[in-house]
Amino acid sequence: MTETFGTRYVAALAERGQFCVGIDPHASLLHDWGLDDTVAGLEKFALSAVEAVAPYCSVIKPQSAFYERFGSRGVAVLERVIAESRAAGALVLLDVKRGDIGSTSQAYADAYLDPASPLASDAITVSPYLGFGSLQPFVDAARVHRAGLFVLAATSNKEGPEVQEAVTAEGRTVSATMLDHLRELNAGETPLGSYGAVVGATIDGSGLDFAFNGPILAPGYGEQGGTTADIRRIFGASAPYVAASSSRGVLRQGPDAGPMRAAVERANDELRGLGG
């Protein structure tokens, strides 16, 4: 890659819209499609979904856990999901939420960001809750490989505030501190930095400054209650840099490709006003 992830991300959202589709093969969704909860069912489900939506959305976000539960054969399917989504022109944000220290973080970074790896993606999700500095191997790998990171910052799960709204010795919440770190990493980058945040599409958001010059992933859009109005309310002037994410709201429309594709088009239409 010669362009940074931030550059590719801005171009993708401008060309294909701000909707991100999660390819998350829940057992219940496989059953809804008339498929068995097996590797064969996983493969049919995931690759059919990719074929239906990857040419029409800016970002595909596979959740690694739903592939890993099948062991090595499931991971092999994930490799194909990544490769075929990218071949269709979508950016791939691999949802792995990894976070560790030292050589272990480096190994994770090599696995998911080094182009030599079959799991290499455009960006990954990471957890900073061993301290933001523990992410340095990911930060360095993203810089070398022109990839991106999405750091958990303000999530919408009910357990999140226990950590994310705790106040540091400097009087800042942990969430605000994470955004401060991202602001430093993205300083001076144009058109956008490559270090992003994961922020729930249904949070309150007051007291947080999302002007950190980076991409934002907002899960919880659509079926989980998040709306375009919420995106505008939470993120304000940073709303054009948000990829609003949904999984089940699209995948429930399958197995026929047409309804899944139509769901992507509707979401992109709803989000279009955020870009300007």
User: What residues contact 30, with CB distance under 8 A and at least 6 apart?
Assistant: 36, 37, 41, 42, 45
User: What residues contact 266, with CB distance under 8 A and at least 6 apart?
Assistant: none
Query: Which pair of tokens denotes residue 226?
Result: 């998040």
**Cα–chain center distance at 263:** 18
| Closest listed residue to residue 174, CA positions, set 147, 189, 143, 153 | 153
| Closest listed residue to residue 250, CA positions, set 217, 224, 218, 215 | 224
Q: For residues 241 and 26, give the distance between their C-alpha atoms in angstroms, rounded to a whole number.
A: 28
- CB-CB contact of 21 with 53 (8 Å): yes
22 - beta bridge partners?
A: 61
Q: For residues 238 and 209, give the distance between their C-alpha atoms in angstroms, rounded to a whole number.
A: 9
Eight-class DSSP state of 221:
B
H-helix or E-strand spanning residue 49: helix 39-53
| Closest listed residue to residue 111, CA positions, set 69, 82, 151 | 82
The residue behind tokens 């490769």 is 83
Residues 44, 61, 97, 158: which is the catalytic one? 97
**Angle (nearest 5°) at CA 102 between 133 and 210:** 25
- 97 carries an active-site annotation: yes
By annotation, the residues acting in catalysis are: 97
